[in-house]
Chains A and B, each alone.
Chain A
Amino acid sequence: MSVFSNVRPVWWGLLGGALVALALGFAFREAREGAERLRRVSTRLVEVRQVADRIERERETLRVEVPRSAVSIGELLDVYLPESSFLAGEEQSELLGTAYRLRSVRVKVEGAAWDEVRALLERAGEQTPPWVPRNVELRAGLTGLEGTLHLEALDKAVDSP
């Protein structure tokens, strides 16, 4: 007891001050490093949310714009232009992801009028999902227009129930 009592109060004060300074130093370092870690993780969360939101927006857009399978061009010609001079070729299909596909078809034109071509493209574009012309090659022949129309459509590979 006397050993401690012999220590002057100023030394106790210095010891206490040194300990407090040490504690504050460690605490400050922990606070600074902790804040930095917190900032990094917060930034990561914001970035992950941004990517997730973008993916969700794309999903939603596709849900609205591509709700089902597209009507085939052959069916479309049968229904809307049964007497036309169009001949739908073999359809190609490429699976994109797990639920969607890109379909393409070449339509041969033999002796058609400009109005018929316009009507076909309008009917194809009005479908949901629409058929979009990607390449049009036409020339005036003896009996009318001749050439090919290349059409593509993005649709669902399997219709939702």
Chain B
Amino acid sequence: MKLNLIKSQTEDRIDILYTEMTPVIQEILDVIKKTKPILYGIKDGEKTLLMIDDIFYFDTVDRRCYAYTEKSVYQITQNISTLESDLNPFGFVRINKSNIVNIYHILRIKPEANMRIKVVLKNNEQLLINRSYKRNFENYLIQIRKEL
């Protein structure tokens, strides 16, 4: 198997060219899939490496994306759609147009009027699950439950 390592200035990217799916390639794929993406946050002009597990939720305000940990807020460069796809395997699910929540930091689900439901986080912050994302949220929990 030929291996090429190319240093890029713009993005981290892995392309795998294969003729047949072998156990070795499958193993490489499993490792890549389990690798948590690296996320940097900016707070007071300082760039900080964020631990994915510490993030409670992401919020978008005026096209700017913010990561909320238990007590801090960091601005991040990625957009909400990229985060949604990249962090989906790590417990993050979209609950409305501007929020992605980490299900491992949810304290409980609280019912709201008009069949809407609220997510109460472990730091007592509350987010609303929009009606259009409700089914997606439910399916995500079922899928994660099956995988465990």
Chains A and B belong together in one complex? no
Residues of B within 8 A of A (CB): none
Residues of A within 8 A of B (CB): none
